[in-house]
Structure 1
Amino acid sequence: MYKIVLASLSAQPCLREIIKLKQKQDPTLARLTEQIKKVKALDLQTNDSGILWMKGRLWVHDIDNLRQENLSHPFLAKAIQASQSGAFIMIFDFRAVIIFGLNALYGRNHIQINKWTGAWNSTNARDFISYSISKGYNVDTWEFGNELSGQGVGASVDAEQYAKDLMVLKAMLKELYNDSHQQPLLVAPGGFFDRQWYAQLLQDSGPGTLDALTHHIYNLGGGDDPHIQAKIMDPEYLSSSMIDTFRTLQLTIETNGPWSSAWVGEAGGSYNSGNRVVSNKFLNSFWYLDQLGIASKYNTKVYCRQTLIGGNYGLLDLNTLVPNPDYYSALLWHRLMGKGVLDIEVSGSPYLRAYGHCRKKRSGISMLLINLSNSTKFNVTILDDSSKTLKHRKEYHLTAKDDNYLSQTMLLNGTPLELTEEGGLPPLKPLNVLVESPIEVAPLSIAFIVFPNIKVEACMR
């Protein structure tokens, strides 16, 4: 019997689920838009919903003939270029909240293999931001740059200069949005975490510049790594590849820029479009949900999943637009896990991962249990007096079709999760279970457990 003790209940901000949407040609984007409207991606119709992130690095010399830079890399072969501004406009049709990435290399000098110096040329960004304001496009957040922090990925800029450019951009946003009721956020650098670089960026840019520090994390390595399956099922690897990054980033912000916050700007498990065998299968949800749990424990405010559609790691299948298993994992997280994060103490095997949150929009608590073992079933007991007043709890058990963890079909309480004939989402119905019975978590399975109406002090604030 494995026991989970609810202890030190302190509410912390949780994360909003954000999905990155790459730019598509008009016909593809139109079809995608219709599909999203059908499945209501992460309940986009609600105000406190999951959000679609459209991120682009664009030159704006001809606003009606936008062209995206650097699509030559092999893993971008399936990322279709947007050729007209209409493709951008269509994103607003399903009320997506837009976080737009600006080119932070424009105007700099390329002096070494991956080293760029000099001040950023802001004229290109000013033209595009002014245009978006004139058209009434509601861009929620502007992100400055992509993977230029530390040593960078193909290019890098030192933190001191980056901070100066951020202050220029912040002043520009204040000027351009002066008469607008909507003041967008400014986030950066959208790169891999480097403690010294990030600390200097906060120190040099100062209070009032950066609303959030964005970082990318691909803890499983390259998509061609033959050991990805083993990594996902290894609790020690999952912890060592994630916890230090989130914890150190949290400390960096607390020490150098408490006015800011931590965002995951991009995460897809394995980079270069993911792994063709694993990334769109049931097994992929294990690292994904585990990372959501860890990120929220370390005060991450926003989590951006790579990607809604594209490559092997899309939440929607690239060809059919049918939801992959991770889509349903994200949807259950979004519906059940609230903003208050609870401190969960687990006694027993490291293969049982547990995370607790205040229940989403209702009284009670929600728990996420992940069984990484392929042979052991865990019987879990919750040691908390407040649960004794309940008669029933709600259970959502996720397993793979035919017990094949590389299946592309996920089961909820034994029922395949498949779109309805009309193309809508299937009902996500829980089991009602007597609260005094132990929670059974099958080998290589995931369970969301909801205890309705439990009065937890941390969740009542």
Structure 2
Amino acid sequence: MRLPPVFAKLSSHLRILGLLPTNKTKLHQANVTLVSNEVVHQVAPEYLSFAIDISVVVGGYWWEGSQGVRKGLGTLRVPPLDLRNKKLDRLVQALGQSYVRVGGSEADKIFYFNSPTDNEHALVLTKTMWDQLHQFIQRNQLKFVFTCKYGLFSRKEHGDWQGDEVQQLLQYSIDQGYQIDVCELGNELNAYWAFHGVRSQPGGKNLAQDYATFAEQIKCYYPQVKIMGPGSAYWPKLGETLAPLSNLTKKFLAALSFNIDIIDWHYYPFQSKRSPLRTRTANLRTLLSPKSFSDFDKYSAKLKAWRDTYQPQAEFWTGETGSAQCGGQPQLSDRFASCFWWADQLGRGAAHGQKVMIRQSLIGGDYGMINRLTTKPRPDYWVSWLWVRLMGQGVFEVKTNVPRVRVYCHQHPDGNHKTLMLINLINRPVEIELTGFAELQQAFSVTANKITSKKVLINGIKPRFKKGKVRLEDFQVKTQTNPEIPALSINFWCFS
């Protein structure tokens, strides 16, 4: 008996998600081909980097427990993050070389060091907080990206940014010997209309003028610092949203009077149910659909073309990304289901020639790689942990004939091997036919007992720190003569 098309489609989705039984005896097959042994792109050593939102650092409005959103923020205020936590240090150090970006929606509201006399509820970055942040950066040998305050002022003042507060912060940092590696001006300036009101929304040309002033000021204090921008927020299906009000990236790049070092953008492939504007809601179906990943390709290509036209010397970064806008989706962004978009976007960003991918966030919110309340790593922390150990800087072109089997290939960090990452979005094992690869020497497979699990397994073993350390050798290393990948899994295969 044939099912009506609508029920047949629903049944197919349910089987993919593991909610209906499948025929386990019949394997899918996928051909995976290494197109060339020539490296096509080179990512930065800090390619996999992360953010700590300034709201978490200083104790602003954040997402844990919030049921909704108010002007782009959570509805509950949190205590400042304790950056002296030794367990947090261990988790950070295990992720290797990284940038840490401190920015976010409240970066443009914050006051540096001193609270205004007429606002008892003002958000203040104190000298003690700034000192502890830099101690955290130095202790863990991180590089630092800081979002400087653009400020909330009316449209008629755009193009005449002064930055007195920023200069005070920079002078103190110089006096203390603190390192800043990358600076940007303002957070998601194309979305000011949504967060701070239409009157605060800058245009591309005026923003370019303010950026020139900003870059000149920064270089007076830190001549070697890299300037990054504009960090526009992109929505799935909509891009920069409301044209012409918020489509500022192209105009900004065309109007810049100096050579910017880094062009970046912010992208979330999904929205949480907190978000008032949802173009692709995070749920099990969308999290595991290849169609959900295609907008990243579309916008990356557009931004890269603008970079090549207006600022060809600039590096291209994803300056902020997470599973779902507005803090992540509760009971999904912190589960195994959220590992798949993250692994895929890491691979796709590198394949598009992006130098750095900054994850929102390291800690805090449902999308944090580390639970802020317990300091325990979540499933996609372990995908990140494997990535930095197995996927090096050189990127190779690789292809497959099965859309639900996603494949990416990098040099191994040791320089002597290649690592193939295979993401299986099918709820069934897939037999892999390889072309162009040498002998398979090691294989690591990330799986879980169910798609909504809070825990993952690496080669069937639950990863955990033992005496503060965790090593690849803690997991059984297996090779296969007839290689296949498990159902709904993320795999790293190392070849000689």
**Given the two structures, how large is their TM-score scaled by the length of structure 2?**
0.77
Change (3 A) 1:222 1:97: same
Q: Distance in 1 between matches of 2:404 and 2:167?
A: 51
1:118–1:170: structure 2 CA closer, same or farther, 3 Å change rule?
closer
Aligned match for 1:203, one of 254, 258, 271: 254
From 39, 43, 53, the equivalent of 1:14 is 43
Q: 1:24 aligns with which of 51, 54, 57?
A: 57
Measured in 2, the distance between the counterparts of 1:245 and 1:316 equals: 28
Q: How far does residue 381 in structure 1 lie from its aligned partner after superposition?
A: 2.1
Q: Would you say 1:352 and 2:396 are equivalent positions?
A: no
CA contact (8 A) 2:212 2:258 kept: no
Q: 2:376 aligns with which of 322, 344, 357?
A: 322
From 77, 90, 104, give the equivalent of 1:38. 90
Determine if contact 2:50/2:99 at 8 Å carries over to the other structure: yes
Give the corresponding residue for 2:204.
Answer: 159
Secondary structure of 1:312's match? coil
Aligned residues of 2:264 and 2:317 also touching (Cα < 8 A): yes
Structure 1 Cα separation of the partners of residues 432 and 175 of structure 2: 56
| Mapped partners of 2:468, 2:311: distance in 1 | 46
C-alpha separation in 1, matches of 2:292 and 2:326: 20
Q: Offset at 1:175?
A: 2.1
Aligned-pair identity in percent equals 22
Map of 1:438 onto structure 2: 482
Match of 2:264, SS state, is: strand
1:419 deviates by 2.8
The one-letter code sitting in structure 2 at the alignment partner of 1:188 is G
Shift of the alpha carbon at 1:42? 3.7
- C-alpha change, 1:147 and 1:297, in structure 2 (3 Å) is same
Aligned-partner SS, 1:191: strand
**1:431, CA displacement in angstroms?**
4.7
**Deviation (angstroms), 1:138:** 0.4
1:411 aligns with 2:457: yes
Q: Deviations over 1:91-117 (max 9, x none)?
A: 2332332211012235x3157xxxx74
- 1:217 pairs with one of 267, 273, 280: 267
How much does 1:28 deviate? 5.7
Q: CA deviation at 1:33?
A: 3.4
CA distance in 2 between counterparts of 1:287 and 1:366 reads: 19
Q: Quick check: 1:60–1:128 contact (8 Å CA) kept in 2?
A: no
Where does 1:362-401 land on structure 2 (aligned, <5 Å)?
362-374=415-427, 376-384=428-436, 387=438, 390=439, 392-400=440-448
Counterpart code for 1:358: Q
Does structure 1 residue 236 correspond to structure 2 residue 291? yes
Q: How many Å separate the matches in 2 of 1:37 and 1:118?
A: 41
- 3-state DSSP class of the match of 1:149? helix
Contact in 1 for aligned 2:48/2:358 (Cα 8 Å): yes
- Structure with higher strand content: 1
Q: Distance in 1 between matches of 2:435 and 2:285?
A: 32
Deviations 1:151-193 (A, max 9, x none): 7543521010111111111111222235xxxx11110122224
**1:255 aligned residue:** 309
Once residues 367 and 126 of structure 1 are traced to their aligned partners in structure 2, the CA distance between those partners, rounded to angstroms, is 46
Q: What letter corresponds to residue 12 of structure 1 in structure 2?
A: H
How far, CA to CA, are the matches of 1:24 and 1:135 in structure 2? Answer: 19
User: Which residue is 1:447 aligned to?
Assistant: 491
Unaligned runs of 5+ in 2: 1-28, 60-78, 241-246
Q: Which runs of 5+ in 1 are unaligned?
A: 73-80, 453-461
How many residues are treated as equivalent by the alignment? Answer: 418
SS in 2 for 1:24: helix
8 Å Cα contact 2:99-2:145 kept in structure 1 = no
Read off the aligned partner of 1:322 and give its amino acid letter. Answer: K
Cα deviations across residues 358-395 of structure 1 (Å, max 9, x unaligned)?
11132111111011112x211112211x51xx4x5110
- What is the rounded CA distance, in whole Å, between the counterparts of 1:282 and 1:82 in structure 2? 36
> Contact (CA 8 Å) 1:368, 1:446: kept in 2 or not?
yes
The secondary structure found in structure 2 opposite 1:450 is strand
| CA–CA separation in structure 2 for the residues paired with 1:302 and 1:199 | 21
1:277-316 matches, within 5 Å, as 277-316=331-370
Where 1:251 maps in the other structure, the secondary structure is: helix
- Alpha-carbon displacement from aligned partner over 1:1-47 (angstroms, at most 9, x marks no partner): 32111114443022511111134359864366311223343444xxx
Aligned-residue Cα RMSD (Å) equals 2.9
The one-letter code sitting in structure 1 at the alignment partner of 2:91 is V
Amino acid at match of 1:17: L
Answer whether contact 2:445 2:492 (CA < 8 A) is retained: yes
Distance in 1 of aligned mates of 2:228 and 2:110: 21
Decide whether the 8 Å contact of 1:282 with 1:405 is kept in 2. Answer: yes
Q: Which residue of 2 aligns with 1:2?
A: 30
Q: Of 137, 144, 153, which aligns to 2:178?
A: 137
CA distance, structure 1, for counterparts of residue 368 and residue 124 of structure 2 = 18
Q: How does 1:22-171 map to 2 (within 5 A)?
A: 22=53, 23-24=56-57, 29-30=81-82, 33-44=85-96, 49-55=97-103, 57=107, 63=113, 84-93=126-135, 94=139, 95-106=141-152, 108-110=153-155, 117-149=158-190, 153-155=194-196, 156-171=201-216
Residues 206 and 257 of structure 1 are in contact (CA less than 8 Å); yes or no, is this contact kept in structure 2? no
Residue 7 (structure 2) aligns with: none
